[in-house]
Amino acid sequence: MAAGVTPQMDHATNAIATSSATPRATAPACAAISASAAHPGPALRVGLAGLSLLEKGRQRRALRARQWSSHFELRAWFFAQACIELGSLGLTGGYALSCVALVHRFPTALPLEAAGRLGRVAFSAYLMHSVVGTFVFGGHGLGLYGTWSRSALLLAAFVFWALQLALAWWWTSQFRVGPLEAVWRGLSRGDFSLGGTAPAAARGRQTF
């Protein structure tokens, strides 16, 4: 996975920096972004800022919840919801920057290879956990929504993700793309084949 990620990022950065349509002034900015992504500091700061804003919005909404039962205040609700949404974006950015920093720091690590393989079947994996989740917690399935503790939910998420990592590793050892990725590519390009095992040099860089 990581064998192709860093060269791709460097190539993209160089392409942007040297493009005739891009002002030369953008080259230092591109270099700064590429360099900062390799360190955990920015990821930590962005993630903590997002988490702080998210928690502030949740506390504000919880504090006003009882008052809104008798008198709803649109401005207060909008402020609390804006904090939650913006905080979620910051937290997501922290996660993303953390992944980039890990790829730079441990380019050949086995967990990153496994995550890269899961990324090659991301569409199939996404729908898989959506179907399983709605079946377990939805009314049309087992109807267990609200019956699990937070610790049980957290543990279940890690267990299910580990299962998906194992399945993705097995699948990508046999085929180039995932089953739903093949359907999606077939609908757009007319090629429904799963393909053979990807060459080692191309693993982690497959697209559909």
In-domain check, residue 4: no
Query: How many structural domains comprise the chain?
Result: 1
Mean pLDDT calculated for residue range 149-168 = 91
Task: Choose among 123, 116, 129: nearest CA to 169.
Answer: 116
Q: State the Cα angle at 11 between 17 and 202, rounded to 5°.
A: 165
pLDDT band at 156 (very low <50, low <70, confident <90, very high): very high
Parent domain of 151: 109-208
For 6, what's the count of Cα atoms within 13 Å in the CB-facing half-sphere?
Answer: 14
In a domain, 160, yes or no: yes
> Cα–Cα distance between 56 and 183 in angstroms, integer?
43
Cβ-in-10-Å burial (0-12, 13-18, 19+) of 162 comes to exposed
* pLDDT of amino acid 8: 44
Whose CA is closest to 113, among 40, 165, 182?
165
Residue 148 lies in a domain: yes
Q: Which of the two residues, 90 and 165, has the higher pLDDT score?
A: 165
Is residue 18 domain-resident?
no
Query: CA 135, CA 129: separation in Å to the nearest integer?
Result: 10
Q: Is residue 116 part of a domain?
A: yes
Is residue 162 situated within a structural domain? yes
> Is residue 127 included in any domain, yes or no?
yes
- pLDDT at residue 64 in the model: 65
